[in-house]
Structure 1
Amino acid sequence: MTSWLLEFSDLQYTYPGGQKSVLNGVSFGIPEGKKCVLLGRNGCGKSTLFQHANGILQPRQGEVRWRGKPFVYKRSFLQEMTQKVGLVFQDPEHQLIASTVAEDVSYGLVNRKLPPDTIREKVGKALEAFGMSELAETPIHHLSLGQKRRLALAGVMVLEPELLLLDEPTAYLDRYQTKNLLRELDQIHRSGTTVLMATHDMDIAFEWAEWICVMDGGRLVFAGEPQALLAERQMLESLHLGIPLIAEVWEMLPPSWKREMGEGIPQSLADWKRRLEERKEEVASV
């Protein structure tokens, strides 16, 4: 039985002064301990949903539950949720508020009124974990976009959340920066944090995720494992998401090659390489 860490039930939301509802009865759960992706086109409601996940926004209708218990929209509860559910915005400029790197990472710890020695220790560990120790005293406006993204992530992770939400974290990053970010997210996941990334990049979603949810028009239209999502090709094409490039290449292979490779469509190039190496070893042993 799946253990849901965070659940959304029939969420509906319209921004004040807005004419159109952004969330239209969206319902789904985030499985605990998984690398998850929330997939959907720009404007489908992903960012708005994320702001409901730790109480920044309160739904007009519906319910958000943490470990089965409904959110209570009172100051003490919401302060607790901002620690348990860490949110990294798409634009780090909306999140970085201090003058230097170290000051920004320490901001949440200072608000929790932790002892100065504890704050210094935690900030030092966070900077080291994200490769920013040498930038501790660097003014934030001197950082590159990639460095600002890592700083925003460090500022959230220093609070040790149980769930990490990232809104389009690979936007405007080059291939090298994207690979580094995904490695950092893998490490965060291995440390015990559930991760949910919002993106419209099908290739990243298919390669990285263990569980994928798809939104369209403020509603959930799919939730399941990556391989199961490929069976919904008509839906993916209708949402202009398409299928992963690796799946397109797989479809071009002769049937005999697919049978020899086995195990269905490889989820990544690393998986494909592993299968090829295993096949070479089998042939060599004959």
Structure 2
Amino acid sequence: MRPLVELVGAGYAYEDGPAVLSGVDFGIAEGRALVLLGRNGSGKTTLMRLLSGGLRPGSGALHLDGAMVTYDRGGLTRLRTAVQLVVQDPDDQLFAASVEQDVSFGPMNLGLPAAEVRERVESSLAALDITALRDRPTHLLSYGQRKRAAIAGAVAMATHDVDLAVRWADDAAVLTPSGFRTGPAGTLLSDPSLLTEAGLRQAWSPAVTAVLRTHGLLDAHTPGLRVPEELAAWQ
């Protein structure tokens, strides 16, 4: 399956600094949930900003649906209608006076008809269950409400079939000091040496599943446990 968005041989270095990323080949397929892991300073934010057009690769290229992204107005508009980045702290993303104004900002700047802007705002607010907050000043929102409003602003720029219910990753990408690893989440996150190199704790699911298999309590053909609640139910 061809990736929806893909970095090809991409590298980036901030001014007067060493390379943060080098020779990265990384794609995200449509319909696949992917988790990006790595210690602080490993390059996660830089990678996300390259994928969303916030930064331009110093080497290599960014492709969207198989076509190279250009960094003119038309190319970036095409990219940002398909790829949105929601930052960890919603206060870094929300800036308009009200929730509705903030969510409508992106679609309005795409030059969409007013009716379509209203439709996108309505559907995004409903998807995040914050319709009742549409007129609420953003500075009066709780932290959880601000997070939802930030995500709604991204959804308003995306297609209507975006699945917000994806809870667990299908794939994983792990940044380590020695390189960049991608693959099925279950396989990658079961590798203790990789997680140690990345400065990460071993994931709960593969660790518990491995113990159960070692003691003959779970056969090789039964899917591993995903969350603690499944362990209680399984017992």
TM-score range, shorter chain: 0.7 to 0.9
Q: Is the 8 A contact 1:54 1:85 kept in 2?
A: yes
Counterparts of 2:148 and 2:30, CA distance in 1: 24
Q: Which amino acid in the other structure matches residue 11 of structure 1? A: A
- Work out whether 1:185 is the aligned partner of 2:164: yes
Paired residues of 1:25 and 1:219 also in contact (CA < 8 A): no
| 1:1-286 correspondence to structure 2 within 5 Å | 2-16=1-15, 18-161=16-159, 185-186=164-165, 189=166, 208-217=168-177, 219-220=179-180, 222-253=181-212, 255-259=215-219, 262-269=221-228, 271-272=230-231, 276=234
TM-score, normalization: structure 1?
0.73
Contact 1:84 1:161 in 2 (8 A): yes
Aligned length: 234
Counterpart of 2:169 in structure 1: which amino acid? A
The CA RMSD measured in Å over matched residues stands at 2.6
Kindly, what percent of the aligned residue pairs are identical? 32
Q: Which runs of 4+ in 1 moved over 4 A?
A: 161-164, 270-274
Answer yes or no: is the 8 Å Cα contact 1:45–1:218 preserved in 2.
no
| Per-residue deviation, 1:103 | 0.6
Cα 1:133–1:4 change in 2 (3 A) is: same
Post-superposition Cα deviations, 1:164-221, rounded to whole Å, max 9, x if no partner, equal 8xxxxxxxxxxxxxxxxxxx832xx5xxxxxxxxxxxxxxxxx81101111124841x
Bigger mean CA offset, 73-82 vs 238-247? 238-247
In structure 2, distance between residues paired with 1:141 and 1:87: 21
Three-state SS of the structure 1 residue aligned to 2:218 is helix
Kept after mapping to 1: 8 A contact 2:5/2:28: yes
AA in 1 matched with 2:80: T
Distance (Å, rounded) in 1 between the aligned partners of 2:135 and 2:187: 47
Higher relative contact order (CA 8 A, sep 6+): 1
- Partners of 1:162 and 1:13 in 2: how far apart? 33
- Measured against aligned partners, the alpha-carbon deviations of 1:38-77 in whole angstroms (never above 9, x if no partner) come to 1111111111111111322111111111122111121111
Which has the larger helix fraction? 1
Q: Is the 8 A contact 1:44 1:218 kept in 2?
A: no
Q: Which has the larger displacement, 148-157 or 31-40?
A: 31-40
Structure 2, gaps ≥5 residues long: none
Aligned residue for 1:198?
A: none
What is the deviation of 1:13?
Answer: 0.9
Post-superposition shift, 1:113? 2.5
Give 1:40's aligned amino acid. G
1:69 counterpart letter in structure 2: A
